[in-house]
Structure 1
Amino acid sequence: MAGGEKHGRRPIFSLLLLVLLRLPLLLSSTTAKNPTFTPSDVYLLDCGAPKSVQLSDGRTFRSEPQSSSFLSTDEDIRLSSTSPLPSLSPLYQTARVFSSTSTYSFFITKLGIHFIRLHFFPFPSSSYNLSSAIFTVNTEDFVLLRDFFVPSPASPVLKEYLINVDNERLYLTFKPKKGSFAFLNAVEVVSAPETLIPTSAASVSPQEQFSGINNYALEVISRINVGGDKISSENDTLAREWLPDSFLKPPDTVQKVAVAPEKVKYPEDGTVTPLIAPRSVYATADSMRDAHVSEPMFNITWDIPVDGGAYSYLVRLHFCDIISRTLNSLYFNVFINRILAIPNLDLSSLTGGNLSMAYYKDFVVAGTTLISGNISIQISPPVMNDPGLPNAILNGIEIMKMSNTAGSLDGLYSVDGSYHSDEPASTAKITVLVTVFGLAIFLMALAAIMFLRRRRRPEDWDKKHSFFSWLLPLHVSHSGRPGFISKWNGKGSTSSSKNGKGFGSHKSKSGYKSYLASGGLGLGRFFTFGELQQATSNFDEKNVIGVGGFGKVYLGLLDDGTKLAVKRGNPSSDQGINEFHTEIEMLSKLRHRHLVSLIGCCDENNEMILVYEYMSNGPLRDHLYPSSPSLTPLSWKQRLEICIGAARGLHYLHTGAAQSIIHRDVKSTNILLDENLVAKMSDFGLSKAGPSSLDQTHVSTAVKGSFGYLDPEYFRRQQLTDKSDVYSFGVVMLEVLCARPAINPALPRDQVNLAEWAMQWHRKGKVQVIMDPHLVAGVGPPSLNKFVEAAEKCLADSGVHRPTMGDVLWNLEYALQLQEAWIGQSYEDDDPSDIGNAGEIHVEHLDSLQRKEIPFDVEVVSVDFSTPADPSPLLQGR
């Protein structure tokens, strides 16, 4: 009996013990506080303070003497309030004053998004009237404040920014206006979670994806805890403040609802975490006061004032269904600036069939859609007869201003002081109409003149005034020895001919035969249209080896067996005409081993045809992800040599010609390979002459380029430099390493853009995970590190931080030397025959997700962004 009692109690005792052991875990799962985030960089400075101070949220701000090493100034002007206010934070009782330009320098240990918070309060002082201070604040790339001042009396002013820091140093410069000074009470520079700011979001107008958000500086305009009270920094996971709702129009349309914060759940996949917003934001909301209205147009409206149409805005809306008792019973519409942003929002389906589950949605809102200077957010029930309860809910609103084309968050002046016009769209349209009208008058006058001339022109007038003659520069000299022409010998050189036989016996409709042949433009041989028809089998589609904005490129074969690349333009294409002219201008000046050579041209039957040397191995892109099994994957050494060749060609363009030339369309399809895999740059249709003097740093021009390769700084500022080619070349380097397109819309959002995706893995120190599996066993780590380091520098957001093509070339040659040294060492240490097997074993352990179902036929096309359409959502191909 006793034994039975003993054995009977043992299971009960074990069960109680198990419950007691797991009780803390069970309690923590239901009442857990928001998880903490440990930033890599934390700089909290209390400016002018004699000692450190700890705030109520637990953060400690260092005193000014301890932080003087951050400031590059010989001044030491520190102020304390003459009448301290106990109700104010200690941060606003002291300040530092700058009478001249002064810069804070912060060392960044982990690149990425950082909070920058600037605290201002013009407290009374016997030495300075702080309310009269007028000054500008900027980083190296962005203007944060311009001619800023804080009037008195005033409440403390907090300016909060989110900036993607891509350099090891963050510089924060304070520049007083002439005759004034600057001041600062406190400054914060703190790392933010990588997931806090998206790389892309839905654009409201036009309704498509807007990419590259992390390339903009963001200023927090509003952070609203809808339906709830103020959330102070001590109750937020990232020391943010959430203000109560004061923008509701009208307030009596809503009913405030709330639940215990512990009831709020976050999705297990990590798409929403307390770092996005704390539970207390999702635990309160505004819903419709009368949830049974029958009027389908009933809505709740928030009108939030912003800074006007010179900027776009990132709008984040937070939702959590804390009012429904059953699933799939709440459907509603979301409008932004009277534009339908989300139709029939069903939180149940978006949260995996869970009530009280946190959810948020990001939007990019163009300043042109503002209503009376406000961002208007509306929620309303669906139209009548839709399923579910006629109700709507909103839990939180965040609005962040995005830097404009000047790289500024305050005005139209950039960091270097240059002014960027913000001409309204209507004015721009009027300008275009006036220009078109003037051009029409000019063409009508020209037509009249031609008509009058036609009545008395000679019989061969048409032969001397073809379409091609209009494309040639009007200022060139037509002098040349009559009867002498250049004859191409099929090997890339020319010889003189005096007898007029061969190609010289054919007449040019442009009347420029002797000029073209004499080398006035360096165009080489003049082909007849018949010759090229025969060489290309009457331009048979089977002979097409390339297609571009200019037209098609055909493989041509001469009678002597010489192969040609015949580029036939489309006269009806404005882009083709412009590229044709540009190609002639550029190639007539250029000769280099790593630039594709122009052999000749054709001007008959209004044709625009250029003839180049044939590059038998085609574009580099075809060898990175070959569609033909006959193409063997390139080795790492071959890829390095190809990159080196292309870099030499670009370096020559930038520095070797009489005037620097910017290619403007560097991509893997424009790097061609000859029979020995020697790389040559091709396609100069978008090229542009660089700055003509040392005083100029850039060329202001309309944005043209290719999705995925386009320099983001060039797009933002419309200022073209040779560093724009460097950025594009950096993307090509990653394409060479990873063997995937620069843009692949079929992949998950964080993998669509190659440059962003590869740099994320590089920052994790795991770039080997995404490299081409064919390279795994054949790449020396020193060579790989040098190559990726060079690519990373090419992709710096600011051109001033990028290397020159000469520097890139040096790094690539160094990477090749490291590779050759590593190969030699590997052969000494190991059996070379084992290398392939080792690679195969390693590939099995790679994450192959990114390599499956990649549509290699996704082509990145060149686009002229000077058209009125907004290209931003397409820039990164999403």
Structure 2
Amino acid sequence: MGGIHKLPASSLALLFIISYFLSTINARFTPSDNYLIDCGSPQNTILDDGRTFKSDPQSVSFLSTDENIFATSDSIPENEKLHLYRTARIFDSESVYKFLVFQPGRHFLRLYFYPLHHPSYNLTTAVFTVKTDNLVFLHDFSAREKTASHFKEYLVNVTSDDFSLVFSPLKKSFAFVNGIEFVSAPDELVPNSATVVSPPGVFNGISDYDFQVLHRINVGGPMVSPKNDTLSRTWMSDSHGYMMFPKGDKLVSVDPSTITYPVGGATPLIAPNQVYSSAASMEDSGVSNSNFNLTWEMKVDSGFSYLIRLHFCDIVSTSLNSLYFNVYVNGMIGVSGLDLASLTSNLAVPYYNDFVMNASAISNGLIRVQVGPSDLESPIPNAILNGLEIMKMTNSAGSLDGVFSSRTNSGGVSHTTTILEATGVAVGAIALLALIITLIRSKNKAKGWNPDQNSSRSWFLPINASYCSTLLSGKSKSKIGYSSVFSTMTGLGRPFTFNELRDATKNFDESAVIGVGGFGKVYIGEIEQGTKLAIKRGNPRSSQGINEFQTEIQLLSKLRHRHLVSLIGYCDENTEMILVYEYMANGPLRDHIYGSTLPSLTWRQRLEISIGAARGLHYLHTGGSSQGIIHRDVKTTNILLDENLVAKVSDFGLSKTGPSLDQTHVSTAVKGSFGYLDPEYFRRQQLTEKSDVYSFGVVLFEILCARPALDPSLPREQVNLAEWAMAKQRKGVIEMIVDPKIVKSICSGSLLKYVEAAEKCLAEYGVDRPSMGDVLWNLEFALQLQDASLQLDSPEEDDNCHAKTKTDASEKSKKVDEINNHSDVSVLINDDSGVVVGSPLFSKIEDFEGR
């Protein structure tokens, strides 16, 4: 494998010697602290990698317990051959391993659990917590499956001269452990800063966090065992059965000895050369393969941020500066136009990149890593990945398993003390809230206000009451910089005074009205330093308004998603019921496709907006609650666009919780907007998620054809857009009703896939309609087909993706067919819509058609 620059033989030899010498030094890591315990074993255990785990009698000096309860078995399942799983120590009460720390700093903590048989203890029923003085590793952990082992690995920053590992059984239960490793690790493993994926930026202070290693992957190669790793780590192959890693077209590997570590960059301690000597890449078959990303999906725990480390080594190129590719994390750009040659100055030189994915950007418990060709010119579109690590970061509670904090109590942790402290905080918060309400009532009574007449409690206080236990006594600062007595943990945002909102809207001037509905009016308001807000002022005399406000605040206090509107605050004074959202600069989608003087959206913009709205609805149906949420009023006026034309679904006043597991539908009165209403729901009054799917199908045709869902001014057969579009589709002439402003820019493959998605949404019976996840997949495919067609066009054809000649059209058809044939690995839902707390949201709701 060569490069462009040639060096004399003597220089190459010297460079090789220096590199080899440095690699050898870096590979030599002798841990200052090295505690290896085979719990419950009567004798030492030597593993295949040469490490010796001490027997339980030799390790008892580290353990503060008088109990000696062991479990032993020689018949563990064939796929669990590791010797450490053959014995276990059992604890009936809280027990502590205490290790002396000779050199504070980073340490690996590795725990082994396997529920062996014991005549008196059923280890599958054990429930216990594992923690240290200031960190929770496992909370109420249980190994319920008899044939499954559990390996937990942590990277902990130890700052004291000792380390206490506490096993705390749940009341009337017990704890157990099969093996423990507590070993020094190089501090260089954890950087101090990394690239934040969403929102883009730099994350500083990573070294202050502790981590749990969830995934460590050798991409394109076999498993790397501790025997072949510089720090006794295990790197799983990405072909391993229980992991969901869609593969690339081609796996590449070279002799590990050809890997040359750089000076001042990656070292064998970061990853062994077996990781860098294998990779997944795109097949060298020409530009037809340029329309997909190599994709890996990993399951993670929601509610945590993650450190993501990607390993690269160019073992596929034959010359420098011939490989450019993009890196994506959860659909968001991590690196654009990555050029390994410019970073390493040679081929087969390791390089790694660290990213932080905030908890708010993770949805559905998945992290998706993708690499794909860059827009920069390359001889052959290609992308590679050699290795991948996903590490969970401690949360604000100092925990790696939920929001359960750990408090020191005589060298251990008192579960009772923690409960009492939490209870005290909750009681204090409730008392504070009661005092605030009493003061407000006293002040209002002094003004002559009778709380029993038209009280705002009729709509707001019962909802607030459910959050009392989470209120804090301190002040918090909202996203837009306001102080609030209420913690943002309530999900209700900042409490605005009526005077603030009256001033912001110039006394609710009619010229500030930007929307009207059954609830009342929506105003644009401007407050401190020019911040614009959308202010929804309800009519307390309208039963519809009160019900919709209650529904909206209950949902928005729980939902956070990039493609859903989010609540900024509220006003709860006198008879007022006001909700405040962040203003969305580009207003409703409908204004951008017809009925206004705004510039027309391009086809690609319309696809991206459709995809964004689909993501929002998909989250509602699958991630909004355990039963899912049905929007019930999907239409183009309820899809709003921010300053970057990012689509967000709004207006949840009619939304309903979906059916439970033992139900097929929710029986409810029919509500929604004519033209979008699911005919099956209208006939049977049985609501399902598929009712939203039908409405979204109408939206898709509305976007494509740039006309209202209902237009009584048109001939009878054209009044209903859904019926008219379906009739044209059955005749194979759908192009006749496409918006003339974009019809020439749509390639045939993209149009067919888009219309196919819309047509399936409008199936007569809900059971025949796709899920929103399937709709999203098809829209993503339509976008990729459109992009692929544009890439295949010559520069003079950029504005028209149809070929100018029959020959060109034929060639392009072949290319699209090739892309279709690769859809199993190349077209994956690119859902970058992670949960975003306080994301920019809302604006105009110009719904003049009512419900």
TM-score range for the pair, normalised by the shorter chain length: 0.3 to 0.5
Larger C-alpha radius of gyration, 1 or 2?
1
TM-score (ref. length: structure 1) = 0.45
TM-score (ref. length: structure 2) = 0.46
